[in-house]
Amino acid sequence: MNQFDFRHKNFMQNGILMYNLAKKLFPICRSITGKGFRTSLKILNYELIKNLNISNKLGGGGI
């Protein structure tokens, strides 16, 4: 997928890119602490953000 460029006037291309991204993300079952949430973040990082820092924090400890 090409990176979105909302400044570009080709709204049809941006719409197609957004729809294809939604088709990838919609079927993923997610909760805030689950595997699906991390999978969604990885997809968004690959498709849009490119430098998102994703880390895990074990429960039960201090922040």
pLDDT single digits (tens) 23-52: 999 999 988 878 999 899 999 888 887 888
Residue 58, SS3 per DSSP? coil
Question: Can you tell me the mean pLDDT for 5-27?
Answer: 83
pTM check: above 0.85: no
For residue 18, CA distances in Å to 2, 7, 28, 39 come to 10, 15, 16, 18
Helix axes 11-25, 35-44, angle to 10 degrees: 160
Question: What percentage of residues in the chain have a pLDDT greater than 70?
Answer: 83
Instruction: Work out the pLDDT band at 56, boundaries 50, 70, 90.
Output: confident
- Tell whether the model's pLDDT for residue 1 goes beyond 50: no
